[in-house]
Structure 1
Amino acid sequence: MPLRLAPEQSIADASAAMARAFAEAGLDSPQRDARFLLQGLLGLDGAQLFSASSRPLGEAAEIVSAAATRRLAHEPVSRILGKREFYGREFIVTPDVLDPRPDTEAIVDLALEVVKSSGLAGRPIRIADIGTGSGILIATLLAELPEATGVATDVSLAALDVARQNARKLGVADRIEFVATSGLSGCEGPFDLVVSNPPYIPAEDIAGLEREVKDFDPRLALDGGPDGLDVYREIARQTLNLPRPLRVVVEVGSTQADAVEGVFSDAGAQPLARRRDLGGHVRAVAMEIHL
């Protein structure tokens, strides 16, 4: 059922009506979703939203109603607003890319830890981001490592376009080469660091995912093959042909750390470190391939 809000309704009343409707629809965080939608659509921060709570919606009623109706259909707030915060920065999100998760920040944390522990901090290192999607990994890493340059690959031209836009927003586009390819095919090393958040959901498990994921994330960004490890195997095969030493940091499913490390051990990699996500699951693993 669509939610219709009236122009004369106050922002506070609209927020309460949205939260009630979201709760009745079984959404996990109804009040937060209502607040974030209103902030994003009205261009207000949290304090401003509170101080303007008695103000009527006015002409914004139609836009807010449409957004609330989309959320009732389980479309994520970030997709409705077209943006997502990641590692303290704002990124563009479109239907062509995976909606970045807070847990994915574990990759950035672990990658920066590896760079530091390997003595590469402050040096002009080269980073490859496989399956870059919205570009959050490569753009964030280059923003954190001002001496670094990178290559971002994806099989989706639409995703690469989003990644370029995000790189421009962060002022790092001139340090990234965007390549339409699978894995690192056609990309020449050397690379000091390879990062990736590959598709790792077993194909038969996708139908059981939350609607926010299965109905709105591109299947290409979710489907990791029969056991969820297909893309890890591709990355591991390609690292065999890259100059060494090489460090690899990848996101993994909550139960996949051992299996992924096993895939890379066959390519000569040794486990380096792990990083847990907000829920306490191992979410990122780092490997090193020596000379």
Structure 2
Amino acid sequence: MSRTIISSNVRSYFASLWTATLYHAIRQSNWIAIAVTGVFSLILFIAAEVSPTEGTWGISKASWLSVCGGVFASFLFLCIQSMLSALKATNRDMYKAAFNELVEKHGIKTVFSQRGSDDVITLYRKLLSSPRRRIWAIGMTNKHFVDQHLESLVHVLTSYQIDLVIAFWDPSTTLIVRQNGGRARSIIEAQSALEGNPGSKWGETIRQRQLRIANAVKDQPIRGDVRIVNVSSVTSFSCFIIDDDLFFFPFLANTDSTNDPTIYCAAEGSVGRSIIDHFTKLLQNSEVCTTTYHQKETTVVVPMT
């Protein structure tokens, strides 16, 4: 099956490449010069071959054939040069088509090989320095987010009127796996086991992390809205949204999810809109989303318990 798909994709690619190259070749204005050169060389060749004499206009037949060969060589050179130019134009068009499809339509800006790499963190900090309306951090345990950005977040909350949501995987949500003897275990424990980090007390770990966030903001003159929530969902990817910039990354069965790839896209693209709609529905659904702390400006609406 995979060979058939790959073969089909390869055939489709080369068919598109050939069609586009031929199209650009036909559009090239120098094809007129090529056609004239080719016809002229053919006329010279025929005239020299059918001539009953050894020369015409005082020029020997051998000289005419030499001239004909030179003109024909020019014809071949122009053909090759035009095909190369057409191929370059084709490549530009294919890159442009890919850009239009990925960037303009779907809003994909780039893909980082690691979500914990220095270039990603630098970009996070730049975007977090002056948000306009929202910061949503939807993660499994949000360890790196809290460790790296909590201090700057407090400054942001006192400077800008934004909606801050920090969502954790709900440690009380469990999975029951038949192959595991029917034992229920936390969804975080299940993912952590895949990453080679089983056995942690995730409920207490997440509670302490949430307390750390709540204690950092509760006595501050914040101007926006802060919500800390636990989410129960079967989707296994996390998301970081800063205004209209969106980062999402899957949780894979690797030893460290920090090394998993990150896709950076615009919120107004088709991919970004779908992801934001997904998390908006989760955050508004009380059956899967539980608020553990809520502070609106300086008023604590839902305290940590």
TM-score by length of 2: 0.27
Structure of higher CA gyration radius: 2
Which gives a bigger RCO, structure 1 or 2 (Cα 8 Å, sep 6+)? Answer: 2
Higher percent of residues as helix: 2
